[in-house]
């Protein structure tokens, strides 16, 4: 158990809808990361927050947004969903952003868009 909690585990929704994925980082970790894993793309970095502020952006679509709250949990909002958004979404956390600080991943939310 990595200590990173993601909810829900599974989500099935229709095209055009909006969903929110939630992540609780490990106790004491200030940094949160979101990754997307689809069958044909591998693990893709989406966005990183550190202590409530956005730190880095990756291949995140404009339809997607995220935030980190004062209690350090994070939410990833996906809107105007398309079939191609079906994927596993992973959250990771780390104590800081130093190069020798490992990321620890949750077990993901499996999103299916029908």
In angstroms, the CA 60 to CA 28 distance is 26
Q: How far is the CB of 80 from another protein (least distance, A)?
A: 25
Q: Is the dihedral of CA 64, 77, 8, 105 positive or negative?
A: positive
Burial-class residue 60 by CB neighbours within 10 Å (0-12, 13-18, 19+).
middle
Q: Tell me which residues in 39-78 interact with another protein (CB under 8 A).
A: 42-43, 45, 48, 50, 55-56, 58
79 versus 97: smaller Cβ distance to another protein: 97
Residues 6+ positions from 27 with CB-CB distance below 8 Å: 3
Is 26 a binding residue for another protein by CB under 8 A? The answer is no
Nearer to another protein, 80 or 112 (CB): 112
Binds another protein by CB under 8 A, chosen from 38, 65, 79, 107: 107
Are 56 and 66 a contacting pair, CB within 8 Å?
Answer: no
Binding to another protein (CB under 8 A): which residues in 80-99?
88, 90, 92, 97-99
User: Is the previous residue joined to 55 through a cis bond, with omega within 30 degrees of 0?
Assistant: no
By the criterion CB under 8 A, which residues form the site for another protein? 2, 4, 31, 33, 42-43, 45, 48, 50, 55-56, 58, 88, 90, 92, 97-100, 102-108, 110
């Amino acid at each position: 158990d990595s200590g990173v909690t993601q909810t829900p585990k599974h989500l099935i929704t229709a095209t055009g809808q909006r969903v929110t994925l939630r992540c609780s980082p490990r106790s004491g970790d200030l940094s949160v990361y979101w990754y997307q894993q689809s069958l044909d793309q591998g693990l893709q970095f989406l966005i990183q927050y550190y202590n409530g502020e956005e730190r880095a952006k990756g291949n995140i679509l404009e339809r997607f947004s995220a935030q980190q709250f004062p209690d350090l949990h994070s939410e990833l909002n996906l809107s105007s969903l398309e079939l191609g958004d079906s994927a596993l979404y992973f959250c990771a956390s780390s104590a800081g952003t130093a190069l020798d600080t490992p990321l620890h991943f949750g077990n993901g939310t499996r999103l299916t868009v029908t």
